[in-house]
Amino acid sequence: MSKEIYHNYFFDEPAFNTHDGGYVPLEVADAPEKPLAIPALLKPDKETDTDIWYTVTAQAGETQILPGQKTKTWGYNATILGQTIVYPVGKHIHVALENHLSELTTFHWHGLIVSGPYVDGGCHAPVYPGETKHIDFTLDQPAATTWLHAHPCPSTAEQVWHGLATLVLVKDDHINSLPLPHNYGVDDIPLVLQDRRFHENNQLDYHADYDPDGVQGPTAMINGTVNPVFDVTTQKIRLRILDGANRREWRLHFSDDLKFAQVGGDSSLLPEPVYLDHLMLTCAERAEIVVDFAGYHDGQTVTLFTDDTPIVKFRIHQFAPDNTALPDHLLTIDKPKVDPKTPIRKIVMSGMDESVMMDNKKFSMQRIDATQPVGQAQYWDITNANSPESGMVHPFHVHGTEFLVISRNGQAPYPNEHGFKDTVGVNPGETVRILVRFDLPGVYMYHCHIIEHEDGGMMAQIQTYYPDKPMPKYKLMDMDTLMNAFAKERGIDPKDLWMAGMDSYRKMGMKM
């Protein structure tokens, strides 16, 4: 039986970022082709049958991205982006978080089900320059491609722009048993999709590029590589794709409209493979796809495009035949049961530019906007109040959990949205219903993942709690303490401090 192949991007075309007033089209950089950088795997400090220890270091460095002068960048255990971290489900994980930067940062585990607000690493968990903090947790979640990025509101966007983002692979016995490509760096390949603008002497200038609707640049940077080429030595490869951009959507397709199978989304495998020749990712979304080059031979090249811009060339070499078939069933999804008496949570994302808000409010670090008992499944209706004619897709992300997409405007979700997710793109004028359950107590943020929008206030906080225990109080960072720390580290008076998002509050007469 032939499989249905989807030929469109699913999302509403009038809302594509190509229609933004500040849209920055991608251009092929005037630079030689280079081998695609494959981040090294981070080696554990120690491992036993039950526990594993890592050290993750945020550090500054210089990276040869373009010809000429090296670019000053930040990374995790690397000069840019970071070494790929692998976390096994079931083992107790210990992580030393080291900050070798000149200013405070946080370590947010995007997609991991860990306790908040401190282990989760949002804005309430600062690690100051020269400081090391220790966290530990045990994962109980499906295998997935997740990621780590800085999250110090309101400087999240700027720190990610400097390079603080890296993949975190969650693995379990089930995914290891499936006939998928598993040889990291050979047929299991990470693709972190980002864009940048390079200024004089190849340097980044976030302030100069700032746009409250999301910073974009004309140069695609894949795993920190410009004009990358990957040498294909196996018939099939698995691409773990992350939209790691501040703002840009990626509308992906191969030359010849080569079809591929999507096998995973943000937070799990899909229940079954979905076959496509076009794939759109909004900010922070991930997709795992399997590409079969059976119809190509040594010496040919297959190109991955976003819209009409080539971003990665796959250079085909001789490979052994591979007749392995993808299973028709990949993962059984256990849908949490909702008590019919549980009210539906209504969340509205509104505005663009400086006017962005969540539920008609801007984010306040010490305000709890909602509560939900641990273990209780609840429907959340996420509405994008932007106009369908002139609005934008807002990617909605929840910390510390995974959710199921139930419907879009009362209709079925997109065909590749039937696994667990932590980020979902919501079209303007649309309401997306998701099914959310938290398994751990804490304080968690939920927000638009256009990073300048979260810095600008399109963000809120939920506290989860055990219903049979008193509601705990957490020490939450306040904005004045955070701003004074940044000003001191930068050697300036707090009144002279500029950070992404501050203008959004000031122009609306609001206090951060």
- Ordered by start, the domain boundaries in the chain are 34-177, 180-316
Contacts of 360 (CB under 8 A, 6+ apart): 348, 350
Q: Among all chains, which residue has been given the structure tokens 């795992």?
A: 288
Q: Which of 184-188, 225-229, 445-449, 480-484 has the lowest mean pLDDT?
A: 480-484
CB 284 within 8 A of CB 246: no
The per-residue pLDDT for 505 is 87
Could you tell me the CA-to-CA distances from 149 to 303, 425, 482, 493 in Å, in that order? 28, 19, 18, 28
pLDDT tens figures, 84-102: 999 999 999 999 999 999 9
pLDDT tens figures, 31-43: 999 999 999 999 9
180-316: CATH topology: Immunoglobulin-like (2.60.40)
**Residue range 34-177 in CATH 3.65.10.10:** no
Q: Among all chains, which residue has been given the structure tokens 């940062």?
A: 105
Q: How many CB atoms lie within 10 A of CB 333?
A: 14
Chain centre distance of CA 162: 15
Q: Among all chains, which residue has been given the structure tokens 């499944």?
A: 377
The per-residue pLDDT for 360 is 96
Q: 316 - beta bridge partners?
A: 232
pLDDT tens figures, 406-434: 999 999 999 999 999 999 999 999 999 99
The DSSP 8-state label assigned to residue 68 in this structure reads S
DSSP per-residue letters across 229-285: EEEE-SSEEEEEEEE--SS--EEEEEGGG--EEEEE-SSSEEEEEEEES-EEE-TT-
pLDDT tens figures, 442-478: 999 999 999 999 999 999 999 999 999 999 999 999 9
pLDDT tens figures, 113-144: 999 999 999 999 999 999 999 999 999 999 99
> What average pLDDT does the structure give for the chain?
96
> Residue 136 corresponds to which tokens in the numbers above?
């530990």
The per-residue pLDDT for 1 is 37
Write down the pTM of the prediction.
0.97
How far is residue 366's CA from residue 473's CA, in Å, rounded to a whole number? 11
Over residues 22-39, the mean pLDDT reads 97
How far is residue 224's CA from residue 81's CA, in Å, rounded to a whole number? 7
Percent of the chain with pLDDT over 70: 100
How far is residue 385's CA from residue 388's CA, in Å, rounded to a whole number? 9
The per-residue pLDDT for 377 is 98
The per-residue pLDDT for 2 is 58
Instruction: Please enumerate, as own/partner, the contacts of 356-359 that have beta carbons within 8 Å and a separation of 24 or more.
Output: 356/212, 356/448, 356/453, 356/456, 356/457, 356/458, 356/504, 357/457, 357/458, 358/446, 358/447, 358/448, 358/457, 358/458, 358/459, 358/460, 359/460
How far is residue 118's CA from residue 97's CA, in Å, rounded to a whole number? 12
The per-residue pLDDT for 499 is 86
Q: Using alpha carbons, select from 5, 12, 2 the residue that is nearest to residue 280.
A: 12
* In the predicted structure, residue 47 carries a pLDDT above the cut 70: yes
Q: Which of 347-351, 448-452, 478-482 has the lowest mean pLDDT?
A: 478-482
pLDDT tens figures, 364-408: 999 999 999 999 999 999 999 999 999 999 999 999 999 999 999
CB 445 within 8 A of CB 476: no
Over residues 310-336, the mean pLDDT reads 96
Q: Evaluate whether 34-177 and 180-316 have a shared fold.
A: yes
Over residues 164-182, the mean pLDDT reads 97
How far is residue 249's CA from residue 335's CA, in Å, rounded to a whole number? 29
Chain centre distance of CA 133: 23
Over residues 152-180, the mean pLDDT reads 96
